[in-house]
Amino acid sequence: MANSPQSKKRARQTERRTAVNKARRSRIRTFLRKVEEAISSGDSTAATTALRAAQPELMRGVTKGVFHKNTVARKMSRLSARVKAIG
């Protein structure tokens, strides 16, 4: 348990950041799920649109420190390859 005032404050800040990051991660996963659903349905235009909508969200996750940039680069590369294979 936090004892000093500084450690108590850090615990509060960590709690807030965790909630924000959790919401952000959930939002990004929703965008990724939409891309996956469009790919599985075989709709090329829907998949392309969903991928274009997901890309800035993923990059925002990198700048906010939720995901590592190489992880997002790998996900984008694999998703775009799968979308390209549909059309």
Query: Tell me, what's the pLDDT at 31?
Result: 97
Task: Tell me how many domains the chain contains.
Answer: 1
pTM of structure: 0.86
* pLDDT band at residue 10 using 50, 70 and 90 as cut-offs: very high
Give the range of the structural domain holding residue 74, as residue numbers without chain letter.
5-86
Cβ-in-10-Å burial (0-12, 13-18, 19+) of 9 comes to exposed
Residue reference for tokens 């850090």: 10
Nearest CA to 20 among 66, 60, 57? 66
Query: Tell me, what's the pLDDT at 19?
Result: 97
- At 37, which CATH number? 1.20.58.110
DSSP H or E run through 29: helix 5-41
